[in-house]
Chains A and B, each alone.
Chain A
């Protein structure tokens, strides 16, 4: 009985169905742009987390993360045919290089902020 009612309702809905407006031709590109933004934010968050691990001040960590993100992005876009490593690897590489310019043992006032930000 119930199955019959369900079948009737499905049939009714199917008879009066109309397809939604089709996806615009630019949808795929918009999705790719959104994914790219997502990846950039994710990379930035990882850079910040790394800097936090190195006990940099908030300002220094943010600056380094932004700088490294810009470098990594430029590197990725300037050599589209021959990327040589994953984003993760490159972030680690650049952060490792950059860390020599910071005193990792420094106890700066900004450290407290690092504990508060939600990455």
Chain B
């Protein structure tokens, strides 16, 4: 590689990285928000983009960048809980800090978020990608690198656990 090529390549890499951040940062944050509690969102989003940086050359040839980004989000969230198992446990009783909104909406949002955060990690990933990010089951399976049948099974269990949690809090989502 010539000196000029080296410089161009480095500039190009940074420029590509910034484009990815600007284009994908929004839904990355939103996805991470449903996977980890508030205190960890910034750290996990940062971890996501460090992973992007490490693999940026592979990204350039990736046809479905968004699918890959979702996988990185999920992996970074899992890694966060793996590094801090106590945090995973605390998530079960964590009360999310939310900005001030309409009281009813805030209350329902809290119930929903708590129900999602309480799901086991693998079920939670499938649930968030399917119901919150509205991916198809095939896309969920591809994003997570799991067989379609596994994705279906996890979604089935996650959905039941989620609805059960809502019911325990007096919420029937079909009547809301």
Which residues of A come within 8 Å of B, CB atoms?
6, 8-10, 12-13, 15-24, 27-28, 30-31, 34-35, 38, 83-86, 89
Q: Which 10 residue pairs are nearest across A and B when measured between Cβ atoms?
A: A20-B33, A86-B6, A12-B173, A16-B108, A31-B49, A35-B53, A18-B109, A84-B3, A16-B109, A34-B50
B154 at the binding interface (Cβ < 8 Å)? no
Q: What residues of A have a CB within 8 angstroms of the CB of B53 in the complex?
A: 35, 38
Which residues of B come within 8 Å of A, CB atoms?
1, 3, 6-7, 9-10, 17-18, 21, 25, 29-30, 33, 38, 41-42, 45-46, 49-50, 53-54, 98-99, 101, 105-106, 108-109, 112, 130-132, 134, 159, 173-174, 176
Per DSSP, chain B at the interface is helix
**Can you sample 28 A-B contacts with CB below 8 Å?**
A9-B131, A9-B159, A10-B131, A10-B134, A12-B173, A13-B131, A13-B132, A15-B176, A16-B112, A18-B101, A18-B109, A20-B29, A20-B41, A21-B99, A22-B29, A27-B25, A27-B42, A27-B46, A28-B21, A31-B46, A31-B49, A35-B49, A35-B50, A38-B50, A38-B53, A38-B54, A84-B7, A89-B6
